[in-house]
Amino acid sequence: MRHRSILLFILAAMLAGAGCAPEPEVKRQIVIGLNPSERTENVARNADILAEMIRKGMGMPVKIFVAQDYSSLVEALRSRKVDFAFFAPVSYVFAERIADARVLLKAERKGKPYYYGCIVVNADSAYRSLADLRGRDIAWVDPTSASGHLFPKAALMEAGIDPEHFFGRQTFAGGHDAVILSVINGTIAAGATFANDTNGIDGSWTQLGNGAYRTKIRPIFFSGPIPGDNLATSQFMLDHHRDIVTRLTATVQGLTADSAGKKLMQAMYHVDAMIPATSADYEPVRNAARLLKLDITGHVGADTGTSAVDVARIAERKSNGRISMIVLGVAAAAGILLLLVQTLRARRRPAVQASPAAGNGAPDRRWRFSIRGLAVTFLDDRGRPFTPIRDVNIDIAPGEFLAVIGLSGAGKSTFLRALNRMNEPSAGVMLFDGADITHISGPALTRLRREIGFIFQQFNLVRTVTVLRNVLLGRLSHVSWLPSMLGRFPREDREIAMRYIREVGLAEKMNTRADRLSGGQQQRVAIARAMAQRPKVILADEPMASLDPKLAEIVLGLLRRFNREEGITVIVSLHVLQLATEYADRIVAFRKGEIAFDGAPGMLTPEIVEEIYRTESAELEEM
């Protein structure tokens, strides 16, 4: 009680000492803030076109501000750095309270002024329903993301599922694209993102990378409808520049009336039209927040009787907005304290215990992996089971460089994904450093994946952020809720990331966006990201498939150097036999889901190679 009195005294003193706000200046230019999303490159690319279209409609200069995150857009409106802003639903409700935002228009997609949140998994995984995700890790987009956090989490609670106890670990990836790529990369079991329907036909995964991820993601749970993103302004603009607000509203609403404007809005936000909106349209957002007991309304405390918007309005008139930042800081501090408590609780969970192989005596710690009778079974599109690998028996020593070869469809990728449990074993036993990992989940699975880096042939980078930020995503499983929520990483993590960026020869590209790199450079970023995990093992699934021969040798050279210098076990699937024999210590060949060869490169005879790569058509000809 005494602390609350002190806080109120400080606030009152600052209010009393504040001077009067100056008269508003004549508007000679308007600034429009754009909502950050996984399509930032599309937004930035089209920002100048949008500004020119609005300039023509308004008859005055227009400047575009592309926000880096949701909170910075709210702050930009509050501090009057922008006059108008395209908000996501949750950030709008927050801006309404903190920045006196007032909604003007909302987005209409596919003929509907709403969309959905959904939980997605890797299409190749064994996860088919929510029940399969018990104890698994999940990535949300951002604390203020409607489809990527608030609505799917509220829908889970309405379905009788408490996310805090149901999932193993929760984290914030920072963007819809980061969620999707984390699910595809296997660093997280499931993620939340947006969908335009509840049939799994259209969503973020179908729109990222021009549809490149369409078949790699499976949605398994949907929230209720979410009111669309919107265009808002501030009460200040309505009070002092209402004519500009009226003209801007009409101009934006008219953008989709012609083909050029419609194409632009589709490219930036997949918006078909902008239609009139009211604050009441966003009541579902407030209801979802109340269900989760989340403070997105700006209240300093439930029992203070004073809301942040009231304080901010007083400060607006007396000190030009300084007090609202203090209130926002107090609210943030309360949230940070809560997250710190959750982090401490998570750290008290017991570690996974080593288990003997098949129950026979003490675990054998000579092997990094010791696998007996491994099989993986999937269901095809018609629900019929098929088994891409079966009866796999193999031991892999620490520090080995192992190449996996075989025809397409032989089981190479399925085997690699089983090693870090992206694919769930349907039979057999898997040991990692003597510990049984066959069916682990929750925190134990998180710890396993910290030890195993994965590199893909498609790079799977977040193309819209810098090289450094991409590599820092390799540290995501090492940080708690707090830094992941704030998009901040400890100094040690940043030093680790920068070290491996230098190691792969990209020091001068550290602050370059990933989509501005060549294919070889992007794959080196992917290697640095995997190394930033400080793993014991690196799995690489045909990482040279998209590269020319020279670049392929550079990438394999890096993997072998890390293998030799840091003792990391490297297991890489290759489609070029010559590379396998040149770089690997050991070669394992798969044929029709089973191991057909296991030995040193020198043991591969032409007859064995012919048998490994014999096609079904060749077998039919012999018959």
Which H/E stretch holds residue 97? helix 89-98
Residue 610: partners with Cβ closer than 8 Å, 6 or more residues away: none
Q: Of 191-195, 270-274, 528-532, give the range with the top mean pLDDT.
A: 191-195
Considering only 42-51, 464-473, 589-598, which range has the smallest mean pLDDT? Answer: 42-51
pLDDT score at 533? 87
Considering only 143-147, 149-153, 295-299, 313-317, which range has the smallest mean pLDDT? Answer: 313-317
**84 pLDDT tier (thresholds 50, 70, 90):** very high
pLDDT above 70 (res 194): yes
Distance, CA of 264 to CA of 281 (rounded, Å): 25
The strand pairing partners of 598, in sequence order, are: 588
CATH code given to domain 2-111+229-341: 3.40.190.10
Residue 361: partners with Cβ closer than 8 Å, 6 or more residues away: none
Handedness of CA 569, 465, 547, 518 (dihedral sign): negative
Percent of residues, the chain, with pLDDT higher than 90: 33
Unique residue bearing structure tokens 């956090």: 149
CB neighbours of residue 393 within 10 Å: 13
pLDDT score at 143? 74
Give me the mean pLDDT over the 292-307 stretch: 45
Question: What is the value of pTM for the model shown?
Answer: 0.50
pLDDT score at 62? 92
Considering only 286-300, 352-366, 558-572, which range has the smallest mean pLDDT? Answer: 352-366
Per-residue CA distances from 295 to 53, 90, 230, 310, 469 (Å): 38, 11, 21, 16, 29
- Residue scoring higher pLDDT (504 or 364): 504
Q: Give 241-266 pLDDT, tens digit per residue.
A: 999 999 999 999 998 888 888 888 87
Helix (H/G/I), strand (E/B), else coil: 391: strand
pLDDT score at 295? 62
- Give the amino acid at 243: D
**614 pLDDT tier (thresholds 50, 70, 90):** confident
What is the distance between the terminal CA atoms of the chain, rounded to a whole angstrom? Answer: 89
Distance, CA of 214 to CA of 216 (rounded, Å): 6
Asked if 467 contacts 510 with a C-beta cutoff of 8 angstroms, the reply is: yes
Nearest residue to 261 (alpha-carbon basis) of 248, 274, 249: 274
For the chain, give the mean pLDDT: 79
Q: In what order do the strands lie in the sheet with 569-573?
A: 452-456, 537-541, 569-573, 401-405, 586-591, 594-599
Give me the mean pLDDT over the 523-551 stretch: 85
Q: Give 138-157 pLDDT, tens digit per residue.
A: 989 877 788 998 899 999 99
Per-residue CA distances from 234 to 60, 95, 325, 477 (Å): 19, 9, 17, 39
Asked if 203 contacts 121 with a C-beta cutoff of 8 angstroms, the reply is: no
pLDDT score at 20? 46
Considering only 169-173, 217-221, 400-404, 613-617, which range has the smallest mean pLDDT? Answer: 613-617
Domain span(s) for CATH 3.40.190.10 in the chain: 2-111+229-341, 114-227
CA angle 217, 218, 221 (to 5 degrees): 130
pLDDT above 50 (res 177): yes
Helices 40-58 and 259-269: angle between axes, nearest 10 degrees: 150
Give me the mean pLDDT over the 152-177 stretch: 87
**481 pLDDT tier (thresholds 50, 70, 90):** low
- The DSSP line for 419-433 is HTTSS--SEEEEEET
pLDDT score at 241? 94
Residue 215: partners with Cβ closer than 8 Å, 6 or more residues away: 123
Give me the mean pLDDT over the 8-29 stretch: 53
Per-residue CA distances from 246 to 83, 191, 274, 487 (Å): 13, 40, 14, 36
pLDDT above 70 (res 279): yes
Distance, CA of 69 to CA of 72 (rounded, Å): 6
Quick one: three-class SS letters along 149-211?
HHHHHHHHHHCCCCHHHHCCCEEECCCHHHHHHHHHHCCCCEEEEEECCCCCCCEHHHHHHHH
Q: In what order do the strands lie in the sheet with 385-396?
A: 385-396, 369-379, 427-432, 435-436
pLDDT score at 620? 42
pLDDT score at 105? 94
Quick one: tokens of 580?
A: 């396998």
**423 pLDDT tier (thresholds 50, 70, 90):** confident
pLDDT score at 359? 38
Helix (H/G/I), strand (E/B), else coil: 11: helix
pLDDT above 50 (res 321): no
The strand pairing partners of 432, in sequence order, are: 369, 435
CATH of region 114-227, choose from 1.10.150.170, 2.102.10.10, 1.10.10.10, 3.40.190.10? 3.40.190.10
- Residue scoring higher pLDDT (316 or 441): 441
Asked if 141 contacts 149 with a C-beta cutoff of 8 angstroms, the reply is: yes
Distance, CA of 354 to CA of 337 (rounded, Å): 34
Distance from chain centroid for Cα 174:
6
pLDDT score at 342? 45
Unique residue bearing structure tokens 């003209």: 247
Counting every residue, how long is the chain? 623
Quick one: three-class SS letters along 461-527?
CCCCCEHHHHHHHHHHHHCCHHHHHHCCCCHHHHHHHHHHHHHCCCHHHCCCEHHHCCHHHHHHHHH
Helix (H/G/I), strand (E/B), else coil: 135: coil
Q: Give 201-244 pLDDT, tens digit per residue.
A: 889 898 877 777 888 899 999 999 999 889 999 999 999 999 99
Quick one: tokens of 473?
A: 């995503």
pLDDT above 80 (res 406): yes
Residue 476: partners with Cβ closer than 8 Å, 6 or more residues away: 171, 173, 182, 187, 484
Quick one: tokens of 561?
A: 């150097």
Nearest residue to 74 (alpha-carbon basis) of 39, 42, 103, 33: 33
